[in-house]
Chain A
Amino acid sequence: MDLIVSVFESNGLLVAFAVIGGLMLVSGWLSRTLTRGRLQGSAIAIILGLVLAYCGGLATGGDAGLADFAVLSGLGLMGGAMLRDFAIVSTAYGVDLQEIKRAGLMGGLSIILGVVVSFVIGSCVAAAFGYTDAASMATIGAGAATYIVGPVTGTAVGASSDVIALSVAAGLVKAVVVMVGTPLIAPLIGLNNPKSAMAFGGLMGTTSGVAGGLAATDKRLVPYGAMTATFYTGVGCLLGPSLLYVTLRAIVGG
């Protein structure tokens, strides 16, 4: 037993490949038998992955889902930012740049609109739950943009640490619901072409959420959504603690 564990631990990435392979096999089978192919195998695999991450987090008390089990630590490398971004960039191979240029103005608009709308909704929800001071509202609003913008804004405006923790939670929820929800809302919002994928990426902004959601919807849309989403966190960190916070303070005072 110890031998198995030590082999698995020292070959983490290989274990991750095998585990994800198994997970995809099960998901493909579930997709064919339970949903008759209506819900894509990759969508089911992502949902299963999230459920397993929840179980892993509960069992170990860590913050990296399944990767907190030592034998599965390779999942952290396989699903980490480096390989994720590497794979995202590779999907752009063969993309038509004209398509992106034509939607450029709309893409830029979608990023700014996405940050502002998330911020407004997040801070309204915060106010509804009794966080009525400008710093807390701005921090939670920024968290509704992405879980990186939240703490950056919170630190800059001097929010309390529990509010910053809440803003991270709001950003994590957004990443998770975008992953799961995108294939479900895709037919309703016309998410079936490069242009709408660019708008979607800019409006959502969470790279992991958009990457997962579009993978579960139609992989061909990934490069377009990722293209705009990648600017979102930067714009959010720029606007959150400055323009948006100052505007919010002028409205609610203090």
Chain B
Amino acid sequence: MILYGVAALALCLLTGTLVGELLGEAMGVDANVGGVGFAMIMLVLITDRLRRKGKFPEPTEQGVLFWSAMYIPIVIAMASTQNVVKAISGGPMAILAGLGALAAGGALVPVLTRIGTPAEPLPPLTGNHEEKQEV
């Protein structure tokens, strides 16, 4: 049943968010520390185990894959509700600080990826990759 997949996803995110809040409180920080990350790890571990036992059949899988396919539309909706006016009205200082952080962070990516074993680039995207993933 499709809902089992959606429910598993929801449980993972709820648990992860709870863990993140607790961790934040334990660290004395007013923020969620890694909630989404914990939820992702949980989802990977649980679904991997269930799949191996054959208890995560394709219809259930579809419940997770649907939301994965909705990711880009959701991000576009997120972009359209950002407070862009405030970002720009912050003036040159805010813009310079934001741009500088992007430039410096970007420049450090190749430096950091040199740590440990080198990584292979992903195979190039085929034309209708997104559609394929849904099926």
Residues of A within 8 A of B (CB): 16-17, 20-21, 23-24, 42, 45-47, 49-54, 56-58, 63-67, 75-76, 78-80, 83-95, 97, 100, 102-103, 105-106, 109-110, 113-114, 117-118, 121-122, 124-126, 129, 140-141, 143-145, 148-149, 152, 165-166, 168-179, 181, 185, 188-196, 199-200, 202-204, 207-208, 211-212, 215, 218-223, 226-228, 230-231, 233-238
Residue of B nearest to A61 (CB): B85
Q: Chain B's interface: helix, strand, loop or mixed, by majority?
A: helix
Whole-angstrom distance between the alpha carbons of A81 and B49 in the complex?
28
On whether A89 and B16 interact (CB within 8 A), knowing A152-B30, A175-B82, A234-B31, the answer reads yes
Which B residues are closer than 8 A to A by beta carbons?
9-10, 12-13, 16-17, 20, 23-24, 27-37, 39-41, 43-45, 47-48, 61, 64-68, 70-102, 104-110, 112-113, 115-117, 119-122, 125, 129-130
The interface residues of chain B lying within 8 Å CB-to-CB of A46 are: 75-76, 79
Contacts of A102 in B (CB 8 A): 116-117
Please report the C-alpha to C-alpha distance between residue A208 and residue B76 in the assembled complex, in whole angstroms.
10
Known: A53-B80, A122-B101. A169 touches B75 (CB 8 A): no
Extra contacts, 8 of them, besides A185-B102, A226-B37 (Cβ < 8 A), are: A56-B80, A79-B75, A84-B78, A85-B36, A89-B12, A117-B104, A129-B93, A211-B78
The 8 Å CB contact of B72, one of A42, A95, A179, A192, is A42
| Contact call A191/B109, Cβ cutoff below 8 A | yes
A203 to B48 alpha-carbon distance, docked (Å): 29
